[in-house]
Structure 1
Amino acid sequence: MELSKSEAIDRVIESAVKDQAEKAPGLRQVHAKSHGCVWGKFTIAENIPENLRIGIFRKVKTYPIWVRFSNASGSISQGQLQSDKLPDGRGMAIKLMQVEGKKVLGLSKARKTLYLSTIRFSSCAMLKATSDWHKPLRVL
């Protein structure tokens, strides 16, 4: 039986909540192991095609940013996070500062975070297909 989009989302949330309850408190669900945090500048290019000029990409602008590099796994063994020697997804989160406009979460802070990962989840079909095995991947 194929899951609806709502059922697939509920299943992933259920699994994530259960997983967090079984783990030591204080760890992120995914990308728990940070490898570095750097600051810099993120400049929106002039040559972005008109049909892609949406949201923060609407106008040429330079934002101050924070970048966080991480491993996907939050697995703990003998009190340690998974070794970097093991294959795993890698992540990079880019937090743009001084972003103008209405915020999705209603927060007053002027920021936007872009999450990048080596594991691709590009559609609802992928979410449905992976909702049963999200726990081993540790991906939401």
Structure 2
Amino acid sequence: MMENKSTEKLLNRLNKIESESQLTKFINSSSPQENNYLLSEYILKICKAKGYNKSTIIQNSDIYRTYGYEILNGKKSPSRDKLLQICIGNGFTLDEANRTLTIAKLGILYAKYPRDSILIYAMNNNLSIIDINILLDQHNFKPLGES
């Protein structure tokens, strides 16, 4: 496993690959163990450490109960905004939220995007989902939960 390899080392190794079989071997050996977590498992792991059960996670997220359980049971893949609601509502750090977005293949929060900048600011300042939606609306962006 290449769990602690830096991105630069991985890129150097990738640049030396000359065949599809080598590429397949690289892909199969270069994924960190943490990437093997299913999205739902990662969310539950973070929330369990905070003392939250599934019901509390869903309540904190301000999402429909049935849909929330489907996400937490791994049956549904949430949109980026729904996933952010889960992260924000349950007090994830910015790093935890970005890791969650990465596992879901939904793209991390990116400071160059104005809407993402607002979300980063809000997370760093522990704003609630309601306060974040007010802030997004004030800047003419779609609130969380409208997707």
TM-score tier after normalising by the smaller chain length: under 0.3
Q: Which has the higher contact order (CA 8 A, sep 6+)?
A: 1
Higher helix share: 2
Higher strand share: 1
TM normalised by structure 1 equals 0.24
